[in-house]
Amino acid sequence: MSTPDIAEVDQFRCRVDEIFQKIDKLEKKVNEVEQFYLNANKKKKSSSKGNSIREEQDKGRHVPSIKKQQQDASQRESAAAKRMQELMRQFGTILRQISQHKWAWPFMQPVDVKGLGLHDYYKVIEKPMDLGTIKNQMEAKDGTGYKNVRAICADVRLVFDNAMKYNEEGSDVHLMAKTLLEKFEEKWQLLLPKVTEEEKRREEEEAEARLNIQFVGEASHAKRVQAISNELYEVDTHLEQLRETVVQKCRKMSTKEKRNLGTAIARLSTEDLNKALEIIAQSSPGLQAMAEEVEIDIDAQSESTLWRLNFFVNDVFEGCDKSTAGNNKKKRKKGICDAIAQTVKKKSKKPSS
């Protein structure tokens, strides 16, 4: 084998390696995109029935950019915090009214467990609470205060529930706690619709924000899909160019190889047979590739057409024999490299001039 022939083989093999390295990278990208849409579909299936209506409403909607979403989120949080502060201010009015009641004095400070000799208090009461502690926590400026109205409501109830739990029914403290709790619940019911409305609004805003994030993700992956499609087209083009070069340089097919090729073509499915006829039609424009009955004269085909058919038939049957794309890829690569080697081997046997 001459030096130029060896160099030519190496050149072809390098090109094959480069193409299949690109294919490996593209497969990883495709898997990432598939996983994204798989997860997205799972989330859609697990969501509420109302999503189908929302999806119709969201078609063609404008999706804000990441920066715009961040700005909107900041403004949304600020507005929500102001609305919650207003609700807490109104709750503060309720708390003052309860605290000013003539029976509120036992509940304004933490229970003096030691002074009153209540040795079993902490065994009965898991979480002590009083109105004074609630007031202080509502006014806290160090970030340790209440974040929402329902948390304050729960603590107010706890104050009176603790008192009724520790003090026997019929006792003064039990009666006072029960009376104040009833008055508190009456006032709380007046504020509750506003609290519920705010919670619903907050939930809708958060759902809208999540939806925007999802749309941004889908838009980003849609761009990736387009980029992958372009790269695949480029790889297909390079692979076809390489195969064309190999076909042009291939040796003359033997009679036995032609016979084997004809047998293999006869075994093709209808769909694959039509593809084989399309290959023949490229060099024989008069052939009707989709005709119901077509007789293929193997001996009448050009060498390039025969090798094209050979490549195609090998791809078809290798795909049937191997279950994984990785094995198919290795076989296709090996087939191209073998053809290159056969070409150069044949050329090396020619006598030098």
Domain with 130 in it: what CATH number?
1.20.920.10
pLDDT digits (tens, 9 = 90+) for 5-32: 556 666 766 776 677 677 777 777 777 7
The pLDDT confidence band at residue 295, using thresholds 50, 70 and 90, is: confident
Q: Which domain holds residue 174?
A: 66-217
pLDDT digits (tens, 9 = 90+) for 317-330: 877 765 444 555 55
Is the model's pLDDT at 50 over the cut of 50?
no
Least confident of 82-86, 94-98, 162-166: 82-86
What average pLDDT is seen over the chain? 78
Are 171 and 272 within one domain? Answer: no
Are 213 and 261 within one domain? Answer: no
Are 263 and 158 within one domain? Answer: no
Are 190 and 259 within one domain? Answer: no
Q: How far is CA 352 from CA 341, 346, 347, 349, in A?
A: 19, 13, 10, 9
Domain count, the chain: 2
Task: Pick the most confident of 240-249, 299-308, 336-345.
Answer: 299-308
Are 169 and 111 within one domain? Answer: yes
| pLDDT for residue 310 | 87
Are 208 and 259 within one domain? Answer: no
What is the average pLDDT across 271-289?
78
Are 160 and 257 within one domain? Answer: no
Are 147 and 286 within one domain? Answer: no
Please tell me which residue, 55 or 137, carries the higher pLDDT value.
137
CB 124 within 8 A of CB 157: no
Are 263 and 209 within one domain? Answer: no
**Which residue among 164, 197, 217 closes a domain?**
217
CA distance linking residue 213 with residue 219, whole number of Å? 10
CA distance linking residue 69 with residue 65, whole number of Å? 6
Classify residue 102 as left (phi > 0), alpha (psi -120 to 50) or beta: alpha
Are 74 and 162 within one domain? Answer: yes
CA distance linking residue 71 with residue 123, whole number of Å? 50
Are 180 and 96 within one domain? Answer: yes
pLDDT digits (tens, 9 = 90+) for 174-228: 999 999 999 999 999 999 999 999 999 988 888 887 777 766 666 666 677 677 7
- Residue 134 forms part of a structural domain: yes
- Residue 345 forms part of a structural domain: no
Are 98 and 177 within one domain? Answer: yes
